[in-house]
Amino acid sequence: MTALSGLDWAVIGIYFAVLFGLAWWVILQNRDTADDYFLAGRNLGWWIIGASIFASNIGSEHLVGLAGSGTTDGVAMAHYELHAWCLLVLGWLLVPFYMRSKVFTMPEFLERRFNPTSRWVLSVITLVAYVVTKIAVGIFAGGVVFAVLLPELQLGPLNSFWIGSILVIVLTGLYTVLGGLRAVAYTEAMQTLVLVLGSVLVTIFGLRELGGWGALRDICGSEMFNLWKPLVPSGVEATWAPVRESGRMAWYFNDNYPWLSMLFCAPVIGLWYWCTDQYIVQRALGAPNEQQARRGAICAAWLKLLPVFIFIIPGMICFALAKSGQNAVIQQTILDGQGQIVRDQAQKAFPLLVSNVLPPGVRGIVVAGLLAALMSSLAGVFNASATLFTMDFYSRLRPGVSQHQLVWIGRMATTVMVLIGLAWIPVIQGGKGLYDYLQGVQAYLAPPIFVVFFLGVFWKRLNGAGCLAALIVGFLLGLFRLAIDTPVKLIQDFHYAEGSFLWIVNNMFFQYYSILILLVCAVVMIVVSLLTKAPDYAAISGLTLGTVTSEQRRESRASWGAADIFASLGVIAAILVAYLYFNG
């Protein structure tokens, strides 16, 4: 494994100097108001919005988890990246409602559409989710990157994993606490350029080391280039069939992301994430008007097409280098003695390529890109969490508080999230299957939030009672599945009796269970709403399709033109081409 050279360290040093110089300049421009700290004064341009959305999304789960999934499963996870069309739904469908409402947070939008209790419940769910997903995953990936690139780094009792995790959290927390969303958005725009450049270089040098695109296809085979996986795993005679040995009914589910679950479950997770999650939508809320917010979403959609080629493909290159024996270090790291992939080690695919394939100088650029992605995703979640806590909890408990006090509380909330992140390191140090873990937890949390936002916007008859019932029922169903899965993962040799109810739930593929939650939540919301009083339509004017006024429609229509349409159609065309190509 090649150590970082002096030239690499010089490049990394220049990156940090520019990054913190930009952050300091932005901090000096800030005004001491909640609008400025949490939404950058609602004055972000479309390029800053698009780059910030992309940089917030492209974090540790991509650098470590998505590249690792490319090593183990090929392009199966590309479905999630090709959901760039979800950003078009945000820009064209939901941005008009969000911009008209002038809200700070997504839970605040629910309050205006439904009732205050819905806002509180969603805020609690979101903050808990951020701790166990985005913060946990970001910290773990930072440790993995440092452990691979600087394995000999030691500071007292702390090894390179701990040092990397702590540095990523503290450095990110520093400028996030001081600068708010404006500092986060502007630094993320710069980090996007570094990240994309570095990741493209990994793909280029990786393919050159392997022998080109043709060699990659030959070594990986058609199965790893196929987006649509079969419903039934190879070797299983039937999906629903009695097991002769036990005489019981066994549920066989393909855990390699079969086409049925990717077709129906993955879009729900995508629409929840891109269209309703505070972590993403907060950037659009920082726009001065509907036009800039929409164009920012379209810009982010174009950028979102890149991860297939700059993260998944490098993961596949890593597998091909190992399988072909062209790189002994990579082969020994990710394959066992029988030539089979060690899934835990596959998480190291991207930093392994950086360390073993890239020349000096270029390696420094890519390491800077790695750090950029790790820091940008954590900065986004720190700022989103502070906004949720301050605007959805503190400001409601202290309605007469000053703007200065709100900013101060936001900084304190960010600091607390940083400390929680530091405390979480021991919990996640033994983590594995990073991208699978993230998608699993999100699949249990997304359906109820998707249901209340989309049905709430499209159907004006649905009310606060239905929204609250759907949120609570969906959240409980997700927690139920997590509670059942946890003992199996943590306790060695623990298992449920074959054929029992708990065994069936535990063995059901997580995306199928997610679809079940979605259907239950939709039915609950509709039934409860129809059995209770209709909402006051005057109070929700402009917040649903059925209550938009003619004047509001004219204002929205004036915010877009032919260029916006052609740019959006270009995204859809690119997605269709990718689906046609990655078909085995």
Average pLDDT along the chain, 584 residues, taken 10 residues at a time: 74 83 75 59 80 77 75 81 91 92 87 91 82 70 69 71 73 70 72 80 89 88 78 48 37 57 80 87 86 94 89 88 84 78 77 83 80 72 78 76 76 75 57 56 87 94 95 92 76 78 82 90 97 93 90 90 95 92 77
Q: What is the pLDDT of residue 255?
A: 53
Nearest to 14 by CA among 462, 354, 364, 250: 364
CA–CA distance from 426 to each of 26, 65, 143, 421, 532 (Å)? 34, 19, 11, 10, 47
Gap between the Cα atoms of 273 and 362, Å rounded: 33
User: What are the structure tokens assigned to 375, written together?
Assistant: 């820091």
CA–CA distance from 548 to each of 58, 453, 572 (Å)? 35, 16, 27
Q: How is the chain split among helix, strand and coil, in percent rounded to 5?
A: 75, 5, 20
Nearest to 2 by CA among 374, 362, 345: 362
Phi, psi of 197 (to 5 degrees): -60, -50
DSSP letter, residue 4:
P
- Report the b/e string of 188-213 with b at 16+ CB within 10 A: bbbbbebbbbbbbbbbebbbebbeee
Gap between the Cα atoms of 83 and 268, Å rounded: 10
Task: Using only the alpha carbons of the chain, give its radius of gyration.
Answer: 24
Gap between the Cα atoms of 413 and 429, Å rounded: 24
Beta-bridge partner residues of 222: none
User: What are the structure tokens assigned to 35, written together?
Assistant: 């609008």
CA–CA distance from 400 to each of 127, 269, 396, 406, 577 (Å)? 24, 37, 9, 10, 54
Q: Which residue has the tokens 């790695």?
A: 370
Write the single-letter amino acid at 196: V
Q: What is the pLDDT of residue 236?
A: 46
Q: What is the pLDDT of residue 59?
A: 67
CA–CA distance from 262 to each of 135, 226, 228, 514 (Å)? 26, 13, 8, 11
Contact 326, 210 (CB under 8 A): yes
The contacts of residue 105 (CB under 8 Å, 6+ apart) are 123, 278, 282, 387, 388, 391, 392
Phi, psi of 102 (to 5 degrees): 55, 40
Contact 298, 564 (CB under 8 A): yes
Q: What is the pLDDT of residue 574?
A: 94
Contact 305, 574 (CB under 8 A): yes
Residue spans of the domains in the chain: they are 6-246+272-432
CATH architecture of 6-246+272-432: Up-down Bundle (1.20)
Nearest to 87 by CA among 305, 260, 286: 305
- pTM, 2 dp: 0.80
What DSSP string runs through 446-488? HHHHHHHHHHHHH-TT--HHHHHHHHHHHHHHHHHHHHHHHHH
Write the single-letter amino acid at 231: L
List, in sequence order, the alpha helices (H) in 211-289: 213-224, 259-264, 266-276, 278-285
Nearest to 479 by CA among 503, 444, 506, 446: 444
Phi, psi of 155 (to 5 degrees): -135, 95
CA–CA distance from 537 to each of 113, 455, 571 (Å)? 10, 15, 36
The contacts of residue 180 (CB under 8 Å, 6+ apart) are 30, 36, 37, 38, 40, 383, 407, 410
Q: What is the pLDDT of residue 245?
A: 37
Contact 450, 86 (CB under 8 A): no
